[in-house]
Amino acid sequence: MDVHKLIPTPKNKNLESMAFNRLTSLVNSMADGVIAVDKNIKVVLFNGAALNILDRNNLKEGDYLKDVLKPVDQNYHTVDIVKLVRDANAPTTNRDLRISYSDGSVSDLYLSIAPVHLGYNDAGRETGGYVLLLRDITAEKSLEEERDEFISVVSHELRTPITIAEGNISNAQLIFDKSGDMEKIKTALKAAHDQVLFLADMINDLATLSRAERGKLTVEVEPINVHDLVLELASNYLPEAMDHGLQIKTELDPKLEILSSSKLYVREIMQNLITNAIKYTPKGQITISAYQRHMNVEISVSDTGIGITKSDQERIFDKFFRSDDVRARAINGTGLGLYVTMKLAKLIGAEISFKSELNKGSTFSVIFPNMPPSSDSKE
């Protein structure tokens, strides 16, 4: 920001005063924080946005910058703001600073420093200094970190199934050429097919997540026969459960009533929970139950699986979260399933709760409210 271009060379005090007033009005209208300092790094000019970023009620002309702006680096080491300003022989920017506040919170800071001509003193001599532009970029930094994590997680998770699928298909071709052993070929192709299904699930999760993040999901309310839905889900997932040596059981309240909600999202929520239960249950059974809870319906998925540690329980609905448990790490996953499930639940006003004990299993319960038939809301 080249302030001296905004101030014409003064021919008299009145013109100088008018120019300064115009500059002050312009600076105060800016959304970014602005602080002008003289060659001694004392405050000459500031705006309200700067006060907001600094979390101060006021600044005074003549305040030392080092007393009002105390940035730290990414490791929370104090940064010498005076040296940072004096070293700015040309306009410079920095996106790696932070400001710590008295309540313990921290904001990421964008700081631009430009050496400028600030005006003239009473003797008519040109005075120099610097203009600092401040912006809170905490939200931007968070998005950047999420983007980087997304790219890292997805690229890693894609690489593994693609490699396994390619290897098994190549193996099937080799077996066909050498021995033609159909059993071995079937085994190799089934392993490849399992990885393709995993990729399909991942793409579905990513597509749903993308729509949810952009607020593009809509709710189409329709009557749902919960009794039939649970039996249908149990039937659909029985082959997969049996492949894992598991049983699927159902427990249905005879008093179940018709649920008014989004059949698409109710089904997807329950599918995600059932899929998780099968993944993380090495032996035993999965139980899908449904009960009438006054005007609502509660559907639960219980398993006899590996369970969730207390430290992981606080984070299981976080985006991209994967447990450090080696047994969980050995299972393919993006860490998106439960995050998407929670997004869908909030969209239709459902509440998810769970209880889990390590090595004994988990139960995830969802209370689905009856929604107005005319609902056509967006997230």
CATH number at residue 60: 3.30.450.20
Query: H or E element: which one contains 107?
Result: strand 106-120
Same domain membership, residue 202 and residue 121: no
Query: H or E element: which one contains 108?
Result: strand 106-120
Q: What is the pLDDT of residue 160?
A: 67
Same domain membership, residue 90 and residue 7: yes
Query: H or E element: which one contains 172?
Result: helix 138-178
Pick the last residue of a domain from 193, 215, 237: 215
188-232 pLDDT, tens digit each: 898 888 788 777 777 776 777 777 666 667 788 999 999 999 999
Same domain membership, residue 272 and residue 250: yes
Same domain membership, residue 207 and residue 228: no
Residues of the chain with pLDDT under 70: 1-21, 23-24, 118-126, 146, 149-157, 160, 205, 212-216, 322, 324-335, 374-379
Q: What are phi and psi of 360, to 5 degrees?
A: -120, -20
DSSP string, 65-79: HHHH---B-TT-PBP
What Cα–Cα distance (Å) separates residue 272 from each residue in 123, 129, 142?
76, 60, 27
Which residues is 199 bridged to in the sheet?
none
How many residues does the structure list for the chain? 379
CATH number at residue 305: 3.30.565.10
Same domain membership, residue 144 and residue 43: no
CATH number at residue 143: 1.10.287.130
Same domain membership, residue 159 and residue 73: no
Same domain membership, residue 366 and residue 323: yes
Which residues is 43 bridged to in the sheet?
37
Same domain membership, residue 126 and residue 33: yes
Could you give the CA distance from residue 67 to residue 40 in angstroms, rounded to a whole number? 13
Domain count for the chain, please give it.
Answer: 3
Tokens of 92: 């410079």
Q: Residue 363 sits in which domain range?
A: 217-379
Same domain membership, residue 233 and residue 254: yes
Q: What is the pLDDT of residue 51?
A: 92
Pick the last residue of a domain from 110, 136, 162: 136
**331 close to 150: Cβ distance less than 8 angstroms:** no
| Terminal CA-CA length for the chain | 40
Residue from 82, 90, 87, 92 nearest 41 by CA:
82
Same domain membership, residue 228 and residue 202: no
Q: In sequence order, what are the residues at sequence separation of 6 or more whose Cβ sits closer than 8 angstroms to the Cβ of residue 318?
A: 335, 339
Q: What is the pLDDT of residue 375?
A: 45
User: Strand, coil or helix: what is 293?
Assistant: strand
DSSP state of 218: B
Same domain membership, residue 50 and residue 192: no
241-295 pLDDT, tens digit each: 998 999 999 999 999 999 999 998 999 899 989 988 998 999 999 999 999 998 9
Pick the last residue of a domain from 111, 136, 161: 136
Same domain membership, residue 211 and residue 223: no
